[in-house]
Every structure is written in C-alpha cells, then in structure tokens.
Structure 1
Amino acid sequence: MDKKPVPDLLLPMSKPTKAINKLIAAFRTASAPLEIKGKESVIELNPVKEQAKVVLVLDGALNIYRTADNLRFVRAAAPNLFGMQGSPFRYNLYQFRSEKGAVLETLPFSRAMELVSEHQLFKEVLHFQTYLSDFQAYRTNLLISKSTYQIVCAFLFELELMPPEQRLRTSVFNYIHEHTHLARSGVMKILSDLRQGEYINIENGKLIAILKKFPREY
C-alpha cells in the first residue's frame, strides 16, 4: 500500500441556481425546443457552418465527456445551460450528450448575448462562469498527480453528496471508472478494503453511506 496522504476534499462553489434560473428565464423569450433523436444524442454547440448556440437544460441532464478519451467529465442536471463561452476550442474538447427524457431548448449565442445586455444580467453571467471555471479546476485537481486511493476516496465523497434516489441507482465502480478510467482491479481492491475496515457501507454495488473518516494513508 502506498503512503501518500489523502488531502481534505476541496469542493468548488455551490451551483448558482438562482443566477442560472434568471438567465434561463431571459433566454426562453427567444429559445425554441431542441429536438433530441434518442438517448445519448450528441448536442453540437458550435456546428460547422452554423451559428454557435446556447443550450438550456430545463429537465433531466446532459452528460459531458472528454473528446480525447471518452472520459465522463460530469453529469450536468437541470437547471443548467451551456454555450455561453462561445469558444469552438472549448467545445471541441468536450462532447455533450443528452440523457433520455432530457428537455432542452436552444437559441443563437449572439441572441443570448443581446438578452444579457438588454436585461442587465452581467452579474449572473459572471457568477455562472466562475462556477464553471471552479468546477473544471476542481476536476483537474482531483485527477492530476493523485494516487488511485486519493481519487477513489474523492469520488466516494461525490457519491455521498448526491441525492439519495440518484445515489442508490448509481454503481460505485461504474461511477468511478467512467470518470477516471482507473483499472478495475485497483478500484475494487480499495473499495473492498474500505468496506472491511467499516469505512463505507456498500450494498448491491451502491453506496449506502460513508460511516467514518477515511484514513489519510493507505
């Protein structure tokens, strides 16, 4: 077992739901339903030879994957919106896929910017962009130069913060693997050790609870 300490989990700022809802309310004066062809439909925010667009997530969620290796970056649940950066570079780094049942609307990026100006929503945009930037930094900090044990512990904390109904539908191993691509053997060994030490309660592959503080060394 390695001897790297497990740092305290630093979490990004809370999702600014109030700011997001204000932006969505303004954008819906000009948005239209976005047709979804099926589960895991890819949403193009900056289609070739088309206007960049903003996508509103009104119900359900989008799953965001890193294009290079298909690593799942995050599940972004409603209310949410994407496309405010207007950056083709950023959108090429990630792929946005809709979940089954997601309700989405869209409007051109240029019109969204006009509405921000008309409704004086610059503060809300800044608040939302700060949240996105913080979350990306959090994910980077979580995955880079960390041991397998540190990463597994961090994602167990993430699972614990989920609403219970969502957490109890989520496989612990699948959640960690989709977000990290860590080897199954290493992840399962750590989970088994944490269960035997009565640090976590897992039933049928689902996290029931974290029972006590994880050891700093593994």
Structure 2
Amino acid sequence: MYDFSKVIEKHVPQAEIDEMFTSIESFSPARKGKPGQRFYLDQSDKRMCFLLYSGTCTIKRNSDSLILSTLRAHSIVGLQDIFHDKSDVQIIANSEIEYRLLSVDELFLHVEDKHLWKNICYMLMLSATRFSEYQKETVGVSNYELICNLLTSLSMESFEIRATTTALEYVQERSLLSRSGIMKTLSSLKAGGYVIIKKGLLIRINSLPKKF
C-alpha cells in the first residue's frame, strides 16, 4: 500500500527529515493523541499540515472511505494536495501518538525563515516515489493481484494492526472489492496452504502464486 514510511530506495534522506521535524519543535508544542482520534486538514478555512512524531495512523479518503495509507513517524500530510480547494482525506490514530498540527501558511513561514526548502523538497520527492509504488501495486492489476499485494502489506503492518484487523477487513477497506470476491480468494489461498489465517487474522504468508 501507499506507505509513507516504506523504504523503497537504498538511500532515504533521513537526516534532512529529522532536521525538519526537530526545527519545528522549536515553535510548535507537541500534542498527544489517542487511538481512534481523527484529524482533518481543513479547519476554519485554513489548510492544515499534520506532522506525526511518534506512533502510527491511517489515512482515509473522505469521498468513499477508502484507506490509502498507513502513516508512520516521521511524516507530514497536507502538502500533497494544497492546490485542491479542500482536502479529501482524514487521519485516524491507530495508537498513542505524538503530533503537531500547523496551518500550511505557518509551516511555509517557518521553512522560509529557517531555510528548510531543501528538506521539504526531499520529503515531497520521497512521497512522490512512494505514491508511484502505490500505483504499481493497485492500478491496472487483476483483483487477485490486488488482494495478494494487500495481504503482503498487511503482513508488514504493526502487531497492533495485524492482531485487530481481519484479512477480509484490511483488503476490503483498501480496495473496495466485493466482500464475497475477497472471501472466495482468501478461502482458496487458505485451503491451498498458501496463507495461514486463524479467526480471520492473517498469521503467515507461506507463498502467493502469481496466478490462481
């Protein structure tokens, strides 16, 4: 899936990302968030940026409730669609989190003052690379391939998500495929010994055939 924190390239500009987040700490107080807490990027006619310092979140599209991504620290959400009239995503905390919520204008003023545009560019380039990877995994693939890609994504999630989210729920919320079609594929993979699923939870992927 479109995992903002998934390492795709050998080199990730971690130093630049850390510098950006450390700099923002100097003028914006940290806040604590609880599991299930929701955040929106349009507040009082202002576009907002959400900065995640610790914990994990889910990014969901408002228009159809499609889950787009798992968000892990350190990440920024809110710059990818600032030219849209309104943001179409909400952020849902999966765990205890530490975050900061700033208006885009506040962030840009700070970036200009501290000469951090290079850092912002690195973060946006990294996000664009990961979105490209998301498209490869979800666009123009068969329903079976999409289910396999999402099962692989689920296997790499945190223990909390894997222990509380069924394979069916995980795939359906991230693909909008029919429940019956997903269940049929999961049942066939389980019967063939390709995956181990107990009480709906994915325990292990043994192997996933390219065609099924």
TM-score range, shorter chain: 0.7 to 0.9
Q: d(CA) in 2 for partners of 1:53 and 1:193? A: 44
**C-alpha contact 1:65 1:72 (8 A) present in aligned 2:** yes
**C-alpha contact 1:32 1:107 (8 A) present in aligned 2:** no
Q: d(CA) in 2 for partners of 1:94 and 1:139? A: 16
**C-alpha contact 1:12 1:134 (8 A) present in aligned 2:** no
RMSD across aligned C-alpha pairs, in angstroms?
2.9
- Percent identity of equivalent pairs: 22
2:211 to 194, 203, 217: 217
Q: Which residues in structure 2 correspond to 1:75-94 (within 5 Å)?
A: 75-85=70-80, 87-89=82-84, 91-94=86-89
The C-alpha deviation readout for 1:14-43, integer Å capped at 9, x for no partner, is 6755443221111111213458698342x2
Structure 1 pair 196–164 and aligned structure 2 pair: CA distance change class (3 A):
same
Q: Which residues in structure 2 correspond to 1:168-179 (within 5 Å)?
A: 168-179=163-174
- CA shift, 1:188, in A, is 1.2
Q: Which residues in structure 2 correspond to 1:1-218 (within 5 Å)?
A: 13=8, 17-33=14-30, 39-41=36-38, 43-50=39-46, 52-85=47-80, 87-89=82-84, 91-99=86-94, 101-164=96-159, 166-212=161-207, 214-218=208-212
Q: d(CA) in 2 for partners of 1:48 and 1:88? A: 17
Q: d(CA) in 2 for partners of 1:77 and 1:201? A: 26
Q: d(CA) in 2 for partners of 1:91 and 1:17? A: 30
Q: d(CA) in 2 for partners of 1:37 and 1:157? A: 27
Opposite residue 82 of structure 1, the aligned amino acid is V
5+ residue gaps, structure 2: 1-5
Opposite residue 25 of structure 2, the aligned amino acid is R
Structure 1 pair 38–149 and aligned structure 2 pair: CA distance change class (3 A):
closer
Q: d(CA) in 2 for partners of 1:197 and 1:49? A: 53
- TM-score norm. by structure 1 comes to 0.78
**C-alpha contact 1:86 1:109 (8 A) present in aligned 2:** no
SS of 1:76's partner is strand
Opposite residue 49 of structure 2, the aligned amino acid is V
5+ residue gaps, structure 1: 1-10
**C-alpha contact 1:55 1:104 (8 A) present in aligned 2:** yes
Opposite residue 216 of structure 1, the aligned amino acid is K
Give the paired residue count.
205
Q: d(CA) in 2 for partners of 1:72 and 1:171? A: 15
Give 4+ residue runs of structure 1 displaced > 6 Å after superposition: 35-38
Q: d(CA) in 2 for partners of 1:171 and 1:16? A: 34
SS of 1:140's partner is helix
**C-alpha contact 2:32 2:97 (8 A) present in aligned 1:** no
**C-alpha contact 1:24 1:81 (8 A) present in aligned 2:** no
**C-alpha contact 2:48 2:103 (8 A) present in aligned 1:** yes
**C-alpha contact 2:41 2:89 (8 A) present in aligned 1:** no
Q: Which residue of 2 aligns with 1:7?
A: none
SS of 1:92's partner is coil
- TM-score norm. by structure 2 comes to 0.80
